[in-house]
Amino acid sequence: MIMKKPEPFVQPDMIFSVSDASALLKNVVETAFPRIRIRGELSQITRATSGHMYMTIKDSGAAISAIVWRGTPIPFKLEDGLEVIITGRFTTYPSRSTYQIVVSEIEMAGVGAILKMLEERKRKLAAEGLFDQARKKPIPRFPRRIGIVTSPTGAAFQDIQNRLRERFPVEIILYPATVQGVTAASEIASGIEYFNREKNVDVIIVARGGGSLEDLLPFSEEVVVRAAAASEIPLISGVGHEPDWMLIDYAADLRAPTPTGAAEMVVPTKLSLIQEMDNLWHRLSSSFTTRLANSKSSLDSISIKSPKQVLMEQQQRIDDTTRTMNIIISSKLAYAHQRMDIVSGFPNILQNKMSVMAQSVAHLGQMLNSLGYKSVLQRGYAIVRDSNGEIISRASNVNIPATLEFVDGIKKI
């Protein structure tokens, strides 16, 4: 925009008092700039006890004083370094021969647009599920190798190295990447993909030190966020400082407030491990001591008898058994005597029964003799047997040699 130079309206021979000249200048400035919008960066912000705020808005070539009267609506907190667009009017301050702009409205400039863009991108990626808690992977307790994606010359890498060396030294593999500029996002994503492709680390740290929102923008690019969400290796984001939240923070498995914080999260301290081992040993020792005391108490409760006492108890058991056996034997003998007395009282009955039995035996002997094959042989019959002694009942089965059994002997044929 080309500004047209105004024509002078004060004649060279005019003489003014200081107050008149200041008033004339004030009138000219306020008339020429009743409303103006200026974009720049805020600095030197102070709040007076009256409630008014004084500050400077500047760029690389100039600076203008600005004042925000108490009661002027400000939709956000004003901070040094914030890029804004202010709307107001120029005026002068005659007592100090300065000019300033009285601010009536103020809005974010580049940052506001960036934040709006980031919020829209965040909603889009969240809708795809890239920030879901279910996707988060646990960070290994004792990683052997840590992959770091950052600038090799930046303070972030040095901070991480120093903190790891102090806490729990492990092997570090660096993937060098620029962390600011046009190619930063693609290099950061390539670093994440490299470690996932090679499978040569247990955890990945993506890191960068602090900076302006514009400087940190590569860590909110979609290519970086998608690479972090797709990482099969647990990933920690350590970008910027505590208030800085980049979109990679939402996709990472763990977000650290700073690069140093990432180093602290990925490994324990040697001291904490020693304390943990001491606590474990204390618990084990206490458990063992308790069990030992319980066992000793159980042993103490067991009464051990002397050999003499054991022998006496066994003798008592034998005596009890002897008495029991004597009772049983006496009872059996008494019963036997009773039965014998009964039997001795009936001798005739027994003799008669024996006579009857003798007669029955004699009769059975006569029947056995009459039914035996010997009696048959006495009637003129003979028994033919083969060489094996088997009886031959048919003539067709007779083979020589054979035997003939008669009542008075055996004849071979």
Query: In this predicted model, what pLDDT tens digit does every residue of 141-199 receive, in sequence order?
Result: 889 999 999 999 989 999 999 988 888 888 999 999 999 887 899 999 999 999 999 99
> Is the separation of the CB atoms in 155 and 209 below 8 Å?
yes
pTM across the whole model:
0.47
d(CA 84, CA 243): 20
Cα–Cα distance, 106 to 332 (Å, whole number): 126
User: Which is nearest to 53 in space by CA: 99, 101, 12, 125?
Assistant: 101
CA 55, chain centre distance (Å): 53
The per-residue pLDDT for range 45-62, each reduced to its tens digit, is: 999 999 899 999 998 889
Tokens of 322: 């002897």
Would you say residue 252 has pLDDT above 90?
Answer: yes
Number of neighbouring beta carbons within 10 Å of residue 61: 5
Contacts of 239 (CB under 8 A, 6+ apart): 206, 207, 208, 216, 219, 246, 248, 249, 259
The alpha carbon of 403 is separated from its chain's Cα centroid by a whole number of angstroms, namely: 101
More confident residue, 19 or 398: 19
Could you check whether the bond before residue 218 is cis, i.e. omega within 30 degrees of 0? Answer: no
Measured torsion, CA atoms of residues 327, 328, 331, 336, in degrees rounded to the nearest 10: -140
Q: Is 59 left (phi over 0), alpha (psi -120 to 50) or beta?
A: beta
Report the C-alpha gap between 126 and 358 in whole angstroms: 119
